[in-house]
Amino acid sequence: MAILDIVTFPEPSLKKVSEPVETIDDELKTLIENMGETMFHDAGVGLAAPQVGVNRRVVVYDPNAGEEQKDPEDKTFTALINPEILSKSKETFTSENEGCLSIVDYRSDVKRHSSVTVRAMNLDGETIEFEAHGLMSVIMQHEIDHLDGILFIDRISALKRTMYKKKRLKQLKNEQ
């Protein structure tokens, strides 16, 4: 397994809609293993393929995210291929302090649906469908947004987004 480089804002590829996966082959399985390793290495709870520079509809996430008694050595992750949100609850809540591995040094409150129903394929090519609530709902919405070229900063106020963009561009300029 390998740790992959995380693509960060303002990389234009993060704004592209990802292509559906047609075939589950060894190359895809290796990508998924590497994404899982990368997610845990960078202390994430979810990771979408576009975040590692691959324009395909694949996400991985930590199914134990948010559990108090989580064993730090447990590196179990779940992969979803071609995930889609089938339905969203009418109820919403504010996901406090939401962050992203591709959005450097920034967190914000984001309005999200309390629950979502997701359909995807697993690594065996079987169609699965499940309902996600709370933190899992946030993870699903956040990661599937990535597949559609949407970043969480696209879901905050224009003022906050502009302030972050200015800060990030200045940070990048200073790194040169």
143 counts as catalytic: yes
Classify 133 as helix, strand or coil. Answer: strand
- In the set 11, 19, 98, 143, the catalytic residue is 143
Side chain identity at 66, as an amino acid letter?
A: G
Burial class of residue 97, CB neighbours in 10 A (0-12, 13-18, 19+) = exposed
**For residues 112 and 100, what is the distance between their CA atoms, to the nearest angstrom?**
15
Could you count the other beta carbons within 10 Å of the beta carbon of residue 3?
13
Active-site annotation, residues: 143
